[in-house]
Structure 1
Amino acid sequence: MKFTRAAAQLTALLGAAAVVATGCSTAESTPTAHPSDGEGWSYTTGYGNTITLDAAPKRIVVDAYSAAALWDYGIRPAGIFGYGITGGQATGNADVSTMTIVGNDGEMNMEALADLDPDLVIGYGNSDDPTSWTWWDEPMADKVNTVAPFTAVKFSGVPLPDVLTEYRNLAEALGGDGDAAKADKAAFDANSDRIRKVAAERPDISLLPLNGDSSSLYTGTTKLAQLGYLSGLGVNFSGPDGDTGWADVSWEQVPSYPADIVMQYVRSHEAFAASPVFVRLPAVTAGQVIDWDDKRPNTYGNYAAWFAEVATAMENAREVA
């Protein structure tokens, strides 16, 4: 089974592209799948649209975030694209060397994608169009859908556990082992409880999530799924909040957001080390700094390990704000 053959795909995408028809979208839908039983295969995404094929998909192409999330369930994609491929920032345990890279960052190599002849393309969805990757424009989304239907994972504005659950459901629909991460799920729950406990015992401990480079500086807000989840566990975040995941700040403003623990974005080490404000922050001089990354792999194991670091930092922190 193929959505359409590679040669025909490439010819079609060079001309006017037609979007694959999907069902209506409802944000509250629960992802479901119906593995092939001789009558076809379908999967309903978190957006509510249903992807239908004449048989269960065997060759898939995924963004880096989906590669990481699906790999732990035994799914082995044929191709990969998106942000975070190089350096393993977003790919987690996934072995990129076993996949064909069909695009880096926001780009897509349509010839390479068509040559792979995939049954599905999977990635973070676009809230305005669930048949598009969140970083594609409409023409690119149309072209990709002439090769294979795009299957969107809903991640924006969704609680972290729901994102992890959707990836597990999708992996099972693709033939993966939904119980493969059972131990990691138990660790995720246990370390979530540990954070909830220390947040209740030490409500005055505050954390400031910083991200920036030599030209820009941001604080993460609770609109980011992971910070929203931690906030729900009782974690006290310092810094401005807002309607988006990031708030612009200046170094002059940072001291006005006192914190006992500074969360330092994984790619900001060099820039922050050169900042005279950062190195003098009370939490930094006290050695109360932990790494964080809003693009970390959406796996129970990865989050369980990071939650253990957060819990330990909160348990051991001195109040210095």
Structure 2
Amino acid sequence: MSGTQAWGFTDDRGTELGAARVPLRVVAYVRAGAALLDLGVTPVGVYGSGHDGGALDPAKAGGLGAAGVPYLGPGRALDEAALRESRPDVIVDVTYDGKSPYALDEAVAERLGVPLVALSVGNELTLPAILGRFAALAASLGAEPAGAASAADPAADPAADLAADLAAAEAALRAVAARSGIAVLALSGAGPEQVHLARPQAWPELAYLAELGVRLIEPGPGPGANWLTGDWAGAVGLRPGLVLFDEREHATLPYGLPSGVRLTPWNPETPPSPAAYARFFRVLAEALAV
């Protein structure tokens, strides 16, 4: 896609965005930036959220570090001068409520005069729909479209290859899940006294795991739409055979779980790309097969 073409995109808030030419310089929230990188769009910079610090969280970074994409700091404490120096044509964030960008105050983009795209990662969309929306944005920004040929291999179809790899990972996980029957608990550690237990249907990727046959544990009634907050004794009492633990830097490792419980890292902010989820599904399939 030529950068001289007019550009338009409607984000998941229903906001119609446009520019006189296709945006070439993309600044994005880390999760969105890692997904776009996987999909063929390299950001000129990424920023974090309120959970993040002054350095890029390796659990969330995907391929951003290896690609040399600069980290501009946590979003709501971001130095606007640093963002301005990146000369973005567009900013890409995520939204959990379909109303507001998650990590960056929209007023920042308004002061820069730059369109801000917010794509949903909440449970109003299924995981395949979320992946589809990020693919659509990447295509609008000039990523290799489905069916495009490369100079080295005129018959190559990168998008089809990514889809096939994800489908193979899903099939492998479905087959292992059907045999194992292991009860899986997803959680985020908050120190020795507290843990947040994920409600599977509140998380598109966990809900999708359930569709693939993974036996996910519901933490039970109580406050919290996405998490039930309690203590580690409560987590042990749910008798998980495998724990998906939040591997982001702000989370803590599990405390006091029985020695027989298997542990597998889980990033609740996995980049919404086929490649990232194929990797996650394969890791989980290996853990369930042990």
Output the TM-score relative to the length of structure 2.
0.81
Match of 1:226 among 197, 200, 205: 205
CA offsets 1:155-206 (integer angstroms, 9 cap, x no match): 111222222221111111000113435433212112212222333344x421
Matched, 1:82 2:48: yes
Q: Distance in 2 between matches of 1:268 and 1:135?
A: 17
Q: Which residue of 2 aligns with 1:102?
A: 72
Residue 271 of structure 1 and its aligned partner are, at CA, apart by 4.9
Match of 1:251 among 215, 232, 235: 232
Matched, 1:134 2:108: no
Residue 43 of structure 1 and its aligned partner are, at CA, apart by 0.8
Matched, 1:113 2:89: no
Matched, 1:43 2:9: yes
Distance 1:154 1:92, change over 3 A: same
Query: After superposition, where does 1:123-162 map in structure 2 within 5 Å?
Result: 123-125=93-95, 127=97, 129=99, 132-136=100-104, 140-147=105-112, 148-157=114-123, 158-162=125-129
Once superposed, what is the RMSD of the aligned Cα atoms? 2.8
| Residue identity matched to 1:152 | A
Matched, 1:190 2:165: no
Q: Would you say the 8 A contact 2:75–2:103 is kept in 1? A: no
Distance 1:156 1:269, change over 3 A: closer
Q: Distance in 2 between matches of 1:240 and 1:116?
A: 43
Q: Distance in 1 between matches of 2:276 and 2:129?
A: 16
CA offsets 1:81-107 (integer angstroms, 9 cap, x no match): 114662422121124774443332532
Q: Which residue of 2 aligns with 1:206?
A: 183
Distance 1:105 1:217, change over 3 A: farther
Secondary structure at the counterpart of residue 227 of structure 1: helix
**Rg larger in structure:** 1
Q: Would you say the 8 A contact 1:213–1:268 is kept in 2? A: no
Q: Distance in 2 between matches of 1:104 and 1:167?
A: 22
Secondary structure at the counterpart of residue 76 of structure 2: coil
Which blocks of at least 5 consecutive residues in structure 1 are unaligned? Answer: 1-33, 317-321
Q: Which residue of 1 aligns with 2:20?
A: 54
Q: Distance in 1 between matches of 2:211 and 2:241?
A: 19
Q: Distance in 2 between matches of 1:126 and 1:211?
A: 18
| Residue identity matched to 2:219 | P
Which blocks of at least 5 consecutive residues in structure 2 are unaligned? Answer: 147-157
Q: State the number of aligned residues.
A: 269
Q: Would you say the 8 A contact 1:181–1:300 is kept in 2? A: no
Match of 2:139 among 147, 168, 172: 172
Secondary structure at the counterpart of residue 136 of structure 2: helix
CA offsets 1:211-244 (integer angstroms, 9 cap, x no match): 2132421111211121111012222112415662
Match of 2:268 among 294, 298, 304: 294
Q: Distance in 2 between matches of 1:160 and 1:245?
A: 16
